[in-house]
């Protein structure tokens, strides 16, 4: 399975919308659970999402428990939240022949935002 950075963004935005409070089970009905699980495993491992995935017990499948985004997860989603900016990031990277990784998406988005705000490049 390939990592889908658009799905990562969508999952993170959905997690951000969860109400404050105790950890809760997470599901995304429009995406097959194995795909969501694999992406959440990667996101938890990378430190973007606070949560855990329990292993299957008997007839019950694995349960994904999420308590929210990490600080880095919040920072990333704030950077790429705007759909127009997100599309510009993807086009910029693909036109250069690069791969759209988490770090590259963040860096390109930051460069675009800095240019729009007339801030010096980092």
In tens digits, the chain (122 residues) has pLDDT values of 889 999 999 999 999 988 777 776 776 666 667 888 889 989 999 999 998 877 766 656 667 788 899 999 999 999 999 999 999 999 999 998 888 898 999 999 999 999 988 888 77
Euclidean distance between CA atoms 106 and 81, whole angstroms: 11
Residues with Cβ within 8 Å of residue 36, at least 6 apart in sequence: 7, 11, 26, 27, 28, 64
- Please report the sign of the dihedral spanned by the C-alpha atoms of residue 100, residue 121, residue 83, residue 21: positive
Predicted local distance difference test score (pLDDT) of residue 60: 63
Q: How far apart are CA 46 and CA 50, in angstroms?
A: 10
CB 25 within 8 A of CB 65: yes
Phi-psi region of 97 (alpha: psi -120 to 50; beta: other; left: phi over 0): left
pLDDT at 120: 86
- What is the pLDDT at residue 26? 72
Rounded to whole angstroms, how far apart are CA atoms 26 and 33?
Answer: 10
CA proximity to 11, closest of 33, 35, 29, 28: 28
pLDDT at 98: 80
Task: Tell me what pLDDT residue 8 has.
Answer: 94
């Amino acid at each position: 399975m390939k990592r889908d950075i658009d799905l990562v963004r969508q999952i993170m935005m959905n997690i951000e919308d969860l109400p404050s409070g105790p950890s809760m089970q997470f599901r995304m009905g429009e995406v097959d659970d194995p795909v969501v699980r694999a992406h959440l495993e990667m996101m938890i491992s990378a430190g973007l999402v606070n949560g855990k995935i329990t292993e299957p017990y008997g007839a019950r499948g694995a349960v994904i428990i999420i308590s929210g985004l990490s600080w880095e997860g919040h920072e990333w989603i704030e950077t790429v939240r705007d759909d127009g900016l997100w599309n510009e990031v993807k086009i910029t990277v693909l036109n250069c022949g690069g791969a759209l990784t988490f770090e590259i998406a963040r860096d390109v988005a930051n460069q675009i935002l800095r240019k729009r705000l007339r801030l010096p490049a980092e």
